[in-house]
Amino acid sequence: MENLFKSFFMGGFECADHLNSFGNRVNLLKETEHDVRIKEDYKLLSVIGIKVVREGICWSEVEISEGVYNFAEIYDRIKIAEKLGIQQIWDLIHFGYPNDLYPTHPKFCERFKNLCTAFARFHKLHSFNKLYVIPINEISFLSWMSGDVRGTAPYAVNSGWDIKYHLSKAAIIGINALKEVLPDCIIISSEPLVKIHGDGIISKEELAEINSYQYQAMDIVTGKICPELGGDKTLIDVMGLNYYWTCQWRINSGTLDWPDLHNNRTPFSSLMEELYERYKIPLLITETGHFGVGRIPWMKEIINHCDKAIERNIPIYGICIYPVVDRPEWDFLDKYNNCGLYDLDDSKNRIPHIGYINFIKQQVQLFEQYIIAL
């Protein structure tokens, strides 16, 4: 397969900008000060050998009034990346949208299409590099959070499918708008990869159906279901997956323990194989990571399963370490998770996790040959 990325290991910067469960706007780009420490953050990654980053434009920030956009801060990130040789992947919706919008709003798709067109034109005018874009991050999770548990706008219940349908519709419309301006842009999905365990509580058929729900958004976008929306397999170039320790759970009894001392979890490599067999589109781990003392063991496990998947001829473009810089909780911004390559002090200074960083440095060197071979 064609080598699309400059390094196998990538770094993701938190860019969620949604309304939290209290109705307050969250902007993690600002909370972590990545918006004003871009050069510092990119240099820290360059030293490790990471040459690809995942960023977000924060729709709630850049659309200052309907149809009017200010991409000045984005321009700064693009130019700093060019100077430092960093390749960027841009999220257009990372859970947030302007105050007057929500996915089932009658103008949502039109407004998102206009955003995609405006951003593609801006990128074409100001960047020397190809556009890599994730139109909507985690449609499945956002549908659940906003449509079933009142976690963000429109704070609904029993509406997860309706939200998912409209977000998927917006993704299709947005991708076509991006391609109209930049036909060679690379479209990446970013969906949770999960495994729900029934433990005999329900039938195997019911369990299989429940597990299939995670695929609905990409099934719509790739045209497997809801053909009236115009989905097509050619709309997705890279099938991105987000995977954390919370991505496997039992019905009615919560998340499976990790470390997995009793082999209760389905191997991550098997989940990736199932995903690839469903779509036959190359994979990218768009988010993974852990917190505290589990950071290195978790990443060792992820890398081990990537090795196994690659041995089975499953094409994997890379692993995005998420996040690079520690993140606060959405609802309690003074509470941090200690989950990055760099933690944060009260002044937002980057405090390196030396062991984690040294481990990633070693892995970057080991996987360099894999990148060359693609």
In the prediction, which pLDDT does 370 show?
73
pLDDT at 372 over 70: no
With the CA atoms of 188, 40, 51 and 276 taken in that order, what torsion angle do they form, in degrees rounded to the nearest 10? Answer: -30
Instruction: Label residue 373 by pLDDT band (50, 70, 90).
Output: low
The predicted pLDDT at position 264 comes to 95
Q: Which residue has the tokens 């960083």?
A: 357
Q: Which CATH architecture has domain 9-373?
A: Alpha-Beta Barrel (3.20)
Mean per-residue pLDDT for 345-349? 95
Is-contact 220 212, C-beta < 8 A?
no
**3-class SS of residue 21:** coil
Per DSSP, 214 falls in state: G
- Cβ-Cβ contacts under 8 Å for 222 (sequence gap 6 or more): 231, 232, 233, 235, 236, 279
Q: Residue 18's pLDDT is what? A: 98
Residue 357 has pLDDT above 70, yes or no: yes
**Region of poorest pLDDT, from 18-27, 45-54, 199-208:** 199-208
DSSP symbols for 322-372: S-SB--B-SS-TT-B---SSEEE-TT--EEE-HHHHHHHHHHHHHHHHHHH
Which whole number is the average pLDDT over 248-265?
94
Model pLDDT for residues 179-190, shown as the tens digit of each residue = 999 999 999 999
Looking at the predicted structure, is the pLDDT value of residue 210 above 70?
yes
How far apart are the C-alpha atoms of 138 and 214, rounded to whole Å? 10
Amino acid at 69: Y
**What percent of the chain has a predicted confidence (pLDDT) above 70?**
99
Decide which of 62 and 199 is more confident.
Answer: 62
pLDDT in tens, 264-318: 999 999 999 999 999 999 999 999 999 999 999 999 999 999 999 999 999 999 9
d(CA 272, CA 316): 9
Q: What is the pLDDT of residue 113?
A: 98
Q: What is the DSSP letter of 183?
A: T
Distance CA(139)–CA(144), nearest Å, equals 9
Mean residue pLDDT across the chain: 96
Domains of the chain, by residue range, sit at 9-373
* pLDDT 10s digits, 169-178: 999 999 999 9
- State how far Cα 216 lies from the chain centre: 17
Residues 6+ apart with CB under 8 A from 158: 147, 148
> What tokens were used for 59?
């729709």
Beta bridge partners of 284: 240
Q: How many CB atoms lie within 10 A of CB 140?
A: 23
Q: Which two tokens stand for residue 103?
A: 């996915």
Helix axes 72-84, 108-126, angle to 10 degrees: 40
How many angstroms separate the first and last alpha carbons of the chain? Answer: 6
- pTM, rounded to two decimals: 0.97
Q: Which amino acid is at 274?
A: E
Q: How confident is the model at residue 374 (pLDDT cuts 50, 70, 90)?
A: low
pLDDT tier for residue 365 given thresholds of 50, 70 and 90 = very high
> Is the CB of residue 174 less than 8 Å from the CB of residue 116?
yes
In the predicted model, is pLDDT for residue 200 greater than 90?
A: no
User: Tokens representing 172?
Assistant: 């299709």
How distant, in Å, are the alpha carbons of 154, 195, 196, 208, 260 from that of 254?
26, 12, 10, 18, 14
> Cα–Cα distance between 27 and 244 in angstroms, integer?
22
When pLDDT is cut at 50, 70 and 90, the band that residue 247 belongs to is very high
**Is the confidence at residue 261, as pLDDT, over 70?**
yes
